[in-house]
Amino acid sequence: MPKAQQRFILYERVQYSQAEMIQRSRDFYHFMDKRRTVRNFSDQPVPLEVIENILLAASSAPSGAHKQPWTFCVVGQPGLKRKIREAAEKEEYQNYHGRMSDEWLADLATFGTDWHKPFLETAPYLIIVFKKAYDLVDGEKKKNYYVNESVGLATGFLLAAIHNAGLASLTHTPSPMNFLQEILERPENERPFLLIPVGYPAEEAQVPDISRKELREVMVLYE
Ligand code: IYR
């Protein structure tokens, strides 16, 4: 097989002075530190164009061999949201009534979660992230690489983009979530990865009073 020739172009670098770097990195940290997982959404509509921009930002994430092995399903249709809620609650009921260990339930106690998932209908959009285990090109299987890492990175970009737009998100993991593949009629190469309700937070939305690990707990310096 002939070796594919990739054309190279000059890298458009973004450059700042050291002082600017310090300021920007600090500002970005403070901005990102304001992101919280929100479980109470307003039903106020969100322009689809915002969602489209958010998804373009997510899709700019690096991926194994630049395969971009993801699909983002955007669900705004009320009937479909209801279907998803019903299926998710059915699984979650089982999770909270026997499938999750006592240790797991104790770890979740802080967050006040239970099997009820009203946000799946309230949030104006549900973004369901699918990972592509492999690509299907004209019915032929093509390999993807580092799929979990790639889709995890894209989802991280996605959450940052949602926050940047001034919207709230929830990384929801109904389990098992193969019902999403059926309801959304996705092809066999796509597997559900995460379900992310997006919208404005409810007027009086509350979040748990938790803090984040300090730098010394997460950073090990070898200098
Ligand atoms: N998937 C369940 C349980 C749950 C699990 C973890 I780990 C969380 O951080 C939060 C919830 C649910 O969505 O309720």
- Domains identified in the chain and CATH numbers: 40-200 (3.40.109.10)
Its pTM stands at 0.95
Share of the chain above pLDDT 90, in %: 95
Residue of the CA atom closest to atom 6 of ligand 1: 108
pLDDT at 90 over 80: yes
Q: Which residues line ligand 1 (CB under 6 A)?
A: 92, 95, 108, 111, 113, 172-175
Once rounded to an integer, what is the mean pLDDT over residues 160-181?
A: 96
pLDDT at 110 over 90: no
Once rounded to an integer, what is the mean pLDDT over residues 188-199?
A: 97
User: What is the CA 112 to chain-centroid distance, rounded?
Assistant: 21
The number of the ligand 1 atom at minimal distance from the alpha carbon of 88 is 13
Annotate 141-159 with DSSP letters as a single string.
EEE--SHHHHHHHHHHHHH
